């Protein structure tokens, strides 16, 4: 039972990691590529870390829970880097399928990059 749960978690995690990277290759423009890695990959690695937590806790050397730290860290940092990346892309005027709102360009033209 435990082995089935672990195997399922590992396969699901790896599958999501793969799909996230697939999105990076398949999507047509930068802003749509951003979605795969920030969402699918985060959940994929989160699932793998939960699997690792269960695995090491059942090895008989006491509970292991420092995996939570990496999961939390990824869940906090992934949106931050996604936000910074898309801000940088808007600033550079990277080609996009959908038109960015006009105010973005106006504010950038003023030269004030927000902190």
Partner 1 sequence: MLSTAILIAFALVSAAIGLTLWRLLTGPDTPDRILALDTLYVNAIALLVLLGMHLSSALYFEAAILIAMMGFVGTVALCKYLLRGDIIE
Partner 2 sequence: MKRRLLPHPILTPILALIWVLLSNSLSPGQILLGLLLGWIIPIFTRPFWPERVTIRKPATLLRFLVVVLYDILVANLAVAWLILRGSHHIRPAFVVVPLALRSDLGISLLANVISLTPGTVSSWLSPDRRRLVVQGLSVKDPAELINTIKGRYEAPLLEVFESC
> Which of 1, 59, 101, 109 is close enough to bind partner 2 by CB under 8 A?
101
Taking CB under 8 A as the rule, does residue 96 contact partner 2?
Answer: yes
* Contact assessment for residue 53 and residue 22, using Cβ atoms and an 8 Å cutoff: no
Q: Which does 54 bind (CB under 5 to 8 A by kind): partner 1, partner 2, none?
A: none
User: Which residue's entry shows tokens 């590992």?
Assistant: 10
Taking CB under 8 A as the rule, does residue 36 contact partner 2?
Answer: yes
CA dihedral 78, 84, 85, 87 (to 10 degrees): 140
* Contact assessment for residue 82 and residue 38, using Cβ atoms and an 8 Å cutoff: yes
* Contact assessment for residue 43 and residue 74, using Cβ atoms and an 8 Å cutoff: no
> Which of 4, 60, 107, 112 is close enough to bind partner 1 by CB under 8 A?
4
* Contact assessment for residue 17 and residue 48, using Cβ atoms and an 8 Å cutoff: yes
Interface ranges with partner 1 (CB under 8 A): 3-4, 6-7, 10-11, 13-15, 17-18, 20-22, 24-25, 30, 33-34, 37, 41-42, 44-45, 48-49, 51-52, 55-56, 59, 64, 66-67, 69-70, 73-74, 77-78, 80-81, 84-89, 91-92, 94-95, 113
């Amino acid at each position: 039972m435990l082995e089935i749960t672990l195997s399922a978690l590992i396969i699901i995690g790896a599958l999501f990691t793969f799909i996230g990277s697939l999105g990076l290759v398949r999507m047509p423009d930068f802003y749509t590529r951003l979605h795969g890695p920030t969402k699918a990959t985060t959940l994929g690695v989160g699932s793998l870390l939960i699997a690792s937590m269960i695995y090491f806790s059942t090895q008989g050397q006491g509970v292991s829970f420092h995996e939570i730290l990496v999961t939390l860290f990824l869940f906090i940092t992934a949106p931050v880097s996604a936000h910074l990346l898309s801000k940088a892309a808007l600033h550079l005027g990277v080609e996009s399928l959908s038109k960015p709102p006009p105010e973005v360009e106006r504010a950038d033209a003023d030269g004030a990059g927000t902190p």
